[in-house]
Each structure stands twice: as C-alpha cells, then as structure tokens.
Amino acid sequence: MECFRIVGPTRIRGEVTASGAKNAALPALAASLLSEGPLELSGLPAVRDIRTMRQLLGHLGVESEEQGEVVRLQAGEQTHFDDAPYELVKTMRASILVLGPLVARLGHARVSLPGGCAIGVRPIDQHLAGLEALGAEVQLEHGYVSARAHRLTGGVFRFTAPTVTGTENLMMAACLARGTTVLQNCAREPEIRDLATLLRKMGAHIEGAGSERIEIEGVERLTSASHRVIPDRIEIGTYLLAAAMTGGEIFVRGAISADLAPLLEKLAASGCDLEASNTGLRLSRAGDLKPRDILTAPHPGFPTDLQAQYMALMTQATGQATICETVFENRFQHVSELARMGADIRINGAFAHVHGPTPLSGARVMATDLRASACLVLAGMAAGGETIVGRIYHLDRGYEQMELKLQQLGARVQRLPAEPTRAA
C-alpha cells in the first residue's frame, strides 16, 4: 500500500493553485443524468472520488470523453440503466447523488446503500423522505434503495437537519418534477450554490440556493450546458493551515475568501496575517500561535472537513484550544495518531481539548479517513524527523497531486509504493 514519507520540520513557502472542488464536481457529474446532454464540465479535480463517480455514470449508460480540460458527458436517451451496484457505491457515499436524478428522469432507480469515510453512521433517511414527499415510492431491501415514481410531483419538504448531498439530491430531482417544490432547512454550502448555477444553465428554475429555503419550479426537460466548478475551499484551507502550522508563507491562487470566512476568522485571531486579492489569498505567520476554539457546524459555520487539519495547527498554539465536533459523531480518529507524534489532546465526548505547544516528532501513523489523512501530513511537516503516513488511498480520494503541490511549496514529501518494513 502506498504511503507518504515526510521529513520535517519544513517551512511552507510559495504559491499553489487551487484545484476544482471535489464536492462541487460530484453533484455536477450526477446532474449529467438529468438531460440527454451533452454536459461539459471543467475544473474537475483528478482525484479518486471523481474517477469513481465517472465509472458509476459509465455503468448507468452515460458516455464521457475528455477534450483537454473539459469532460463531456452524454446521458442520451437513458432508458435502460437504473442500477448503481454495491461494488461501485461502497467506496463513496456521494454515489447516492445519482438517486434523485435517476428517479426524476427515468421514473425508477436502484442504488446500493452507500459506504464512504468511517466517520459516523451517516444515514440517508432525509434523501429518502424528501423523495417520498415528491411522490416517489421508496423501499429498502437487500442493502439497496429502490425508488419509483411515474413522474415526481412538486411538494414541500423540511429537512430535519441540513444535509449537503441531501439538499443536492432533492434539488436535482425537483428540477424535473411537475409543479413547484419548496425545500426548507436546506444546507447552505457554496457547492450547493454552484450546483444551482449549473442546473440553471441547463434550464432549471431554482431560487434561493445558498439559503435555508430553496424553491424549484419543475420543467419538462433540461438541456445541454457548460460549467466550470468552483475552487475547492477545503483543499485551499488545508494549504493555508499547512503554512500557518509551519510558520511559513503561502499564496493560494484561486481562493475565494468569502467561502472560507469561518476558517479565515480563526486564522487571523490565532496570529496569522491574511491578505485577499482578486486572484487569491496570501497567508503568513511569523509570531506565536494563539489557541482559538472552534465548533464545527453546517455552512456558514466552521467546516467539519477542516476540523482535523485545524486540530493539527492547535497543537502548536500556546495554551488550550477546545474543538467541538457537532456534525459527525466519530470524527476524532486522527487524535490517537497525533498523540503518537507527541500531541497532548484529551477527548471528552464531542469535545477535544488540545494543549500546546508540543514539539511533534516524526512517527509512523495511519490515515483513517480523507481529512484525518491531511491532518497527519500537516503534522508530519511540522514534526522533527521522518513521518510515514500509511493508507494514503484515503488522501487520494480528495486531494489532487498533494505531494507535488507540497514539494512545490518546499516540503520534503515523497510517495512511496509501499510502506518501508522498518521506520528509519
């Protein structure tokens, strides 16, 4: 199994370009099922989750080809394929995003219950209840969801709690429903706004995406469109945190500050200098780091997808920082690995108390999920000596060419084909 070998400490210094957002690209790809096409998407990051979604779409009969940076998807008539099998869905929870478009366009779908990161139970009950509110008949059997509807009908649905892919799934389904749909208590992430922009280009009538209430007036059919996905705010945040943690300086080209506000506020408060421009965002840190508490929450709260990386940063702050994880119930798996590198972190339910600063020392650690892996890479760059991060297939799900980007920033990070038998 491939791993990263990191030799630290390093100071991150230089410029990096943001990749397209994985979490915007996944629903954009699924949207190709909504029309005969073609749908032309650019800015898709070269990461494993995107390859998995394209494979799934291929299985569902969507033809895709690459023309330079543009991926051209054509669902065509789409009358036969409605089955998303376990083998494809198990590695990626976001596969559930094909459910809404398939039911809306074909009138039926059979999708395996998803797998994905081991960061909690993560049910899909809201996706299903929402489809039922639009008139679909939903059944769960043998690990599969089957949904049917002659034609979906607009309705009112209130999410019990905001869900990102749930909001996206229903937004896509409602585009082709008869009549008007009102979704309430929706997730407000920038990726949802981006999907609405794409759907509108395809001819959908959507208002309010990015707010708590989204209204969609169904249309008979959607058409072809071209779209570039927004930059990846989680990738950008990860690189900013890398520079902050190593006392370095970075310019991230393509960063949209407004979408990163909750992180930027904490970085500024903890002693980093930030400067936003039309082309990107610059961060530097020269002085000590101050501890700052965070509480993860749906957007515009602090993103749970940056919690692990922020925790790595707080190990270098002077004093105690408390991190409260409210979105997922099992998202502290990086803590025991950070402890192996010398971090002093105590967990109490949904709270992690980080005491710093602790000098980190290189160790063998194991990635457990996508963002936990990124946290260990940051810690490895700040730590003295050699760190081996195992199971980086998790990282490859969501970070495009991470080792190359970090090398460009001066880090000593190498991808090894297998874990060395003995740590140096």
- Residue 191 vs 235, nearer CB to ligand UD1: 191
Find the part of the chain contacting ligand UD1 (CB under 6 A) among 160-168, 207-215, 268-276, 408-416: 160-168
Report whether 29 contacts 168 (CB < 8 A): no
* In the complex, least distance from residue 420 CB atom to ligand UD1, rounded to whole angstroms: 31
At closest approach, how far in Å is the CB of 341 from ligand UD1?
A: 24
Counting contacts by CB under 6 A, is residue 195 touching ligand UD1? no
Residue 192 makes contact with ligand UD1 by CB under 6 A = no
Residues 6+ apart with CB under 8 A from 187: 159, 162, 163, 164, 166, 167, 298, 299
Q: How far apart are CA 175 and CA 204, in angstroms?
A: 6
CB neighbour list of residue 142: distance below 8 Å, 6 or more residues apart: none
- Residue span binding ligand UD1 (CB under 6 A) among the ranges 37-45, 133-141, 157-165, 175-183: 157-165
Per CB under 6 A, which region of 82-90, 121-129, 137-145, 245-253 contacts ligand UD1?
121-129
Cis peptide before 45 (omega within 30 of 0): no
By CB under 6 A, name the one of 84, 164, 173, 264 that touches ligand UD1. 164
CB 27 within 8 A of CB 264: no
Q: Which of 12, 18, 89, 124 binds ligand UD1 (CB under 6 A)?
A: 124
The smaller minimum CB distance to ligand UD1, of residues 159 and 239, is found at: 159
Per CB under 6 A, does 333 bind ligand UD1? no
**Which tokens sit at 310?**
């922020």
Of 232, 249, 305, 337, which one interacts with ligand UD1 (CB under 6 A)?
A: 305
Q: CB–CB of 390/1 below 8 Å?
A: yes
| Residue 136 touching ligand UD1 (CB under 6 A) | no
Residue type, 158: R
Contacts of 360 (CB under 8 A, 6+ apart): 8, 315, 316, 338, 341, 342, 343, 379, 382, 383, 384
Distance of CA 421 to CAs 25, 193, 364, Å? 38, 47, 11
Residues 185 and 160: their CA atoms lie apart, in Å, by 7
Contacts of 358 (CB under 8 A, 6+ apart): 315, 316, 342, 343, 344
Residues in the chain: 424
26, 62, 133, 138: residue in contact with ligand UD1 (rule CB under 6 A): 26
Among 187, 214, 221, 182, smallest CA distance to 104 is for 221
- Of the residues 3, 117, 186, 375, only one is catalytic, namely 117
Q: How many angstroms separate the first and last alpha carbons of the chain?
A: 18
Q: What tokens were used for 372?
A: 């936990």
Binding ligand UD1 by CB under 6 A: which of 11, 90, 122, 412? 122
Assign 235 to helix, strand or coil.
Answer: helix
- Check residue 127 for interaction with ligand UD1 (CB under 6 A): yes
Does 399 participate in binding ligand UD1 (rule CB under 6 A)?
A: no
Active site residue 117: yes
Radius of gyration for the chain, computed over Cα atoms and rounded to the nearest angstrom: 22
Which listed range, 12-20, 37-45, 116-124, 352-360, lies at the site for ligand UD1 (CB under 6 A)? 116-124
Indicate whether 163 belongs to the interface with ligand UD1 (CB under 6 A): yes
Q: For ligand UD1, give the closer residue by CB, 162 or 254.
A: 162
Judged by CB under 6 A, does residue 331 bind ligand UD1? no
Does 325 engage in binding with ligand UD1 (CB under 6 A)? no
At its nearest, how many Å lie between ligand UD1 and the CB of residue 128? 7
Any contact of residue 334 with ligand UD1 (CB under 6 A)? Answer: no
User: Does residue number 161 form part of the binding site for ligand UD1 (CB under 6 A)?
Assistant: yes
166 binds ligand UD1 (CB under 6 A): yes
Catalytic machinery residues:
117
Binding residues for ligand UD1, rule: CB under 6 A, are 23, 26, 93-94, 120-127, 161, 163-166, 187, 191, 304-305, 327-328
